[in-house]
Amino acid sequence: MSQSIKLSSLFLCLCLTSIAGARTAADEPKPKPENTISVKLAEPVPAQKFEPAPKFSITDVTDRSGNPQPMVVFKDRGGLFLDRQPTAILREAIDDSLKSANLRADDPGSADLTVRLYLFHFGLAQGSGLDFFSKVEFSAMVKNPKTGESQEVKATGTAIARGAVRKKNIQKNVEENLQEALKDATRNFLRGVQLKEAINSLWKAPDASPVASGMVDSKTANTGNHQ
């Protein structure tokens, strides 16, 4: 008799565990077209002016956030997902801005300076609970491929948006907020004093132009003739 009670209680426990597991799996949000947002810069961020300007190339973007689900922005209310990996979004934002400022090398081999990006945070951060607080934080390793020297440049972007109750409004506010943070971080990198200092220390413009050297050559030749 006691054996049958033990068996039935064990069976009951197994049933409860399986039900709990199934409910947890059902609560886990899944990416669908209606809960996926697209984060990208509305327009390229204007970079600071460099005289003369070097050409950059982005070699790689590494995710160092340690987030096991980098594409999940918001877990509650059915979840909110990014349409691409945050590394791809960041790469596109910086690449487009460099291109619009005519600072991007056409092919990676011809770049004066290479940039390797390390992404530390992309998405919502802990806010007051009354609003949405987005943060984009990354670090760039600017390297001169000829000399092998490199320097680190840090950039952060933050944005605060109003909170929302309706799912549709949450989606809209989070999307705008993330775009603002991405724009802020890109701007912080491209207009930062750190980038300027890195360029000044790592790269020197070739000073002798072919026309000038040609003139020197002809002068030398003339002097030679006179002698």
Residues of this chain that interact with another protein (CB under 8 A) are 48, 125-130, 133, 135, 156-160, 184, 187-188, 191-194, 196
Q: Write down the least CB distance from residue 173 to another protein, Å.
A: 14
- CB nearer to another protein: pick between 61 and 161: 161
Q: Write down the least CB distance from residue 51 to another protein, Å.
A: 13
- CA 104, 47, 87, 62 dihedral sign is positive
- CB nearer to another protein: pick between 146 and 196: 196
- CB nearer to another protein: pick between 78 and 127: 127
Q: Write down the least CB distance from residue 74 to another protein, Å.
A: 17
Compute CA 13 distance to the chain's CA centroid, rounded to the nearest angstrom: 47
- Residues in contact with 198: Cβ distance below 8 Å, sequence separation at least 6, in sequence order: 142, 151, 152, 153
Q: Write down the least CB distance from residue 156 to another protein, Å.
A: 7
- Residues in contact with 169: Cβ distance below 8 Å, sequence separation at least 6, in sequence order: none
Q: Could you tell me if 105 and 57 are in contact, meaning their C-beta atoms sit under 8 angstroms apart? A: yes
- CB nearer to another protein: pick between 74 and 132: 132
Please name which of 67, 94, 92 lies closest in space to residue 81, comparing C-alpha atoms. 67
